[in-house]
């Protein structure tokens, strides 16, 4: 069991790419249709996974960034 887990971890680590963004970069926002906060176009499996690029305002944590969101996304948390 441990050998299988080690193989899977090794494979996943080889495929993983570190992502760092700078202030001013434009990034796509990943959205979840299950949250139901905002609808983006189609419903169900045709709902987009990512929506338009947004500007990075600040780096908040190791992997969290503050984004410049428009008013219609005010119910979405900006980090």
16 alpha carbon, distance to own chain's centre: 15
Domain count, the chain: 1
Q: Which residues lie closer than 8 Å to 79 by C-beta, 6 or more apart?
A: 60, 64, 65, 66, 67
Q: How confident is the model at residue 70 (pLDDT cuts 50, 70, 90)?
A: confident
For residues 48-77, give the mean pLDDT: 85
Q: Within 10 Å of residue 6's Cβ, how many Cβ atoms? A: 10
Identify the domain containing residue 65 by its residue range.
19-73
12 in a structural domain: no
25 in a structural domain: yes
Q: What pLDDT was estimated at residue 63? A: 85
């Amino acid at each position: 069991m441990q050998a299988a887990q080690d193989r899977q971890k090794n494979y996943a680590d080889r495929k993983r790419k570190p992502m760092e963004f700078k202030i001013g970069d434009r990034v796509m926002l990943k959205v979840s249709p299950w949250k139901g906060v905002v609808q983006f176009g189609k419903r169900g499996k045709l709902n987009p996974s990512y929506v338009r690029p947004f500007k990075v305002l600040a780096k908040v944590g190791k992997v969290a960034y503050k984004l410049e969101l428009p008013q219609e996304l005010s119910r979405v948390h900006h980090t």
